[in-house]
Structure 1
């Protein structure tokens, strides 16, 4: 009897604290007016005429203001940086191109492409900036770089400084016998270091099963800790409905199945919702769960349906930074399952 009273009292205390934290999270969340900070996507093409073409897909506004991947979204950055970003985001393409002109040399001097032990001089051949569009989502521009490769080079190595943010890089090579193109696997570089060498003296092949599993478990884990506090709060809210394991297992199962569905669809490019819509709804879902926990400790059918629906929403949120480069095409299911294990 005493144990039951203590358990009840503990749950009551935890609920109060969780309710306060969740309400503050919802009321103070600036996400509706912020852009999610995404890693730059780098695609390097080793051409048969010993030239190289590099496409850098990144936010010029983020590059110019120094808002990099240490921030989950632009409003997490210092106020002056966030304000400068918002100003640049309102500019039409020609005006933003003019702003970037003064930054070009710094950008070119900071990045590095090496062929074996030779540093390749790179030049900026084109800057494609989309129209201003809806200003509450990131505007991803394409910077095209070109260079001359030495004859008989065997590997390429790419460096993109951490001050510009995280980057995801892959290399494309041609099979001269069939004239077919082959892509390497992506490398997601989070630290201030160069990529692992891309070996070009043999065609890129399928990534080993355990390498896919290990890589995507780590990606899923790092997506939640430390940057996924909103998702962690939601899981805590599920737990606090009841301290018994049966309700917890039922809710976690519904949540996992739901976010696996939308995460897979988002990673495959089937659905794509802007963060300005998704993130406030996730904050609202946390607040709602907190409120419902205050009035019930029983697992009703509507609760499972609600958790499933909100799980669909969180799956889209999980895919935010990952959907730009997708899953390995030859191991999509393995990558998706591994990513969910990490999450």
Structure 2
């Protein structure tokens, strides 16, 4: 089955295609001159791509073929009197006939017309704790959006440096869900915010089981986010950004970095860690990855899986490298390209 990687970089987007997950054709850059920060297939099957420009600001572009693009008629935007600025599109996901976009400054927007126009999800964007929301080093951003496959009204978002929120009524109201996680930026009025979540995934068969890569470490919840416990045994570092899950085996993949101060691969060794026991233990995967003087970091949107069996795993680095594995991370190879700084890697098995 052919695999397509849509790679968002600081200098445009690139498309990597393979029929066997070993040999790759590289196309691009598309949207040259824009930073590409997120991408997803929309409800109608075309592509929705988040972009940013120091001239034009943040926007969403649409495309049928990843070659020709048109900007959305009415992209996500805060009202002029809100005092909040939309700086970047961090995440785009499709859920049924709707598309959602997580943005910075932190907020959630929804589209009911395949991404042409977008409306704010005010239950989150105007949350009672909003005045206490503080940014992390990467800004105040809504970067993760999850849905319960068995309950269409239940969803989660991850906001840095605020925490995880859950809605049980389709986004009308939201509750912080961070009990058990170490607080990073304590708020004097709201003790349930100030948690710097970096990455968030759910078990595709049981959305009550959620995993989060946090600023303060790795955590797992078995009750839909009501409570969290640490699960870090074997990791080279608690700190990191992305997390991905194999939908078949439920194996987890993360990319640890050296502390929140340095944010580089530990000891200059580029390694992905995998857990095959729901996060109880972790083991390094590095066959084919550079193990000396490798300092390209993997950002929160730059690690993905293809959902095939065996699962393919893919990631990009801040040094512009793209690596692929066709065997759940047991072995890796570099794609024949050196791109600008990689923001995101979106994976599609066609």
Measured against the shorter chain, the TM-score band is under 0.3
TM-score normalised per structure 1? 0.25
Higher strand share: 2
TM-score normalised per structure 2? 0.25
Per chain length, whose mean CA-contact separation is higher, i.e. which structure has more relative contact order (CA < 8 Å, sep 6+)? 1
**Greater Rg, structure 1 or structure 2?**
1
Higher helix share: 1
